[in-house]
Amino acid sequence: MLDSLGFILGTTLMYSTPLIYAALGGVISENSGVVNIGLEGMMTIGALIGATVGFYSGNPWLAFLAAGLAGGGLALLHAIASVTFEADQVVSGIAMNFLGPGIALFLSRLFFEGATMTKAIPSGNKMPRPLNGVFPRNSFFDFIFNQYATVYMAFFLVFILWYTLYRTKLGLRIRAVGEHPRAADTLGVNVFRIRYLCVILSGVLAGFGGASMSLAIVSNFRPTLVSGHGFIALAAMIFGKWKPQGAMWACLLFGASNGLVVYLGRPGTPFEISQSLLSMIPYVITLVVLAGFVGRAAAPAAVGTPYEKGER
């Protein structure tokens, strides 16, 4: 029983990690006043680039960094459209969700002889497990703490982003731009620069989320790998009230649903449940949480509103 609990908790941490990266990206972008529903596309391009660079270079850290840069590059397009040209931020985000998977499939066919799935990364070239071998194999603590490095980095980034937003001058400027950009502008804050920075960082974090799937959870990229995780991360951001720590707890909730799905889907479990029904659980929980909570959370006041310098 204790080992089963450890398995569920460990699986929860593993599946929460991509959501945490993407949700943090949503937090920093929307705190600056820019809606980014393109996280799904940015995760997808990050997953593809991570798997491709990881396969050809054999260096998971280089692959992880390249995935973040790829996500940031796609986010730059979103920033140009929504900040510079004042396009509808939701429409621009939707475009990113079409563009990301499209580019990913094109590059996959280009680098892997026409295949839409990248070749598997050798197990030795996946992200390392820092605590591998510290605890007895398949013990309670081994199930929980023998995680990939991406898991520990995700929780560290939660603290870093919280500290940046609420304990630094930069964080104060980000939140000021998201709440009242005109007031921030009159105090000398460059609204456009702050929003560009935050949107690009949101893409970098989403790219990290995609890479944490293709370099750790699995060992390759496939078209269905991300499959809605970017939208679940957006739900987690809303559920977490646009705060890093709140988004983290929401991601753990959604990750726990995935952990439960994996546990109940294993052979030998006391319950026989259809795999189709099990695969619905994370998305049903997302809908239930949003339906019961979305009206009670207050977004930054200027989120989704383009800012034109000098307007009255």
Can you give the CATH number for the domain in which 245 is found? 1.10.3470
The angle that helices 2-31 and 244-265 make with each other, rounded to 10 degrees, is: 140
**17 falls within a domain:** yes
Give the number of domains in the chain: 1
Closest CA to 148 of 250, 21, 233: 21
**180 falls within a domain:** yes
pLDDT for the residue 312 = 45
Structure tokens at 134: 């510290």
- Most distant CA atoms of the chain, gap in Å: 66
Give me the sign of the Cα torsion angle 194, 199, 204, 208.
Answer: positive
**306 falls within a domain:** no
What does the alpha-carbon distance between residue 17 and residue 155 come to, in Å, rounded to a whole number? 8
Residues of the chain with pLDDT under 70: 267-272, 293-297, 310-312
**121 falls within a domain:** yes
Structure tokens at 113: 């002889």
What does the alpha-carbon distance between residue 139 and residue 144 come to, in Å, rounded to a whole number? 9
**305 falls within a domain:** no
Task: Classify each residue of 278-299 as buried b or exposed e, where b means 16 or more C-beta atoms within 10 Å of its C-beta.
Answer: beebbbebbeebbeeeeeeeeb
Give me the sign of the Cα torsion angle 247, 221, 150, 61.
Answer: negative
Expressed in angstroms, the distance from the first to the final Cα of the chain is 64
pLDDT for the residue 145 = 95
Vertex 290: Cα angle to 295 and 144 (nearest 5): 130
pLDDT for the residue 69 = 98
**105 falls within a domain:** yes
What does the alpha-carbon distance between residue 193 and residue 190 come to, in Å, rounded to a whole number? 5
**136 falls within a domain:** no
**70 falls within a domain:** yes
What does the alpha-carbon distance between residue 191 and residue 173 come to, in Å, rounded to a whole number? 9
Domain residues for 226?
Answer: 2-127+149-295
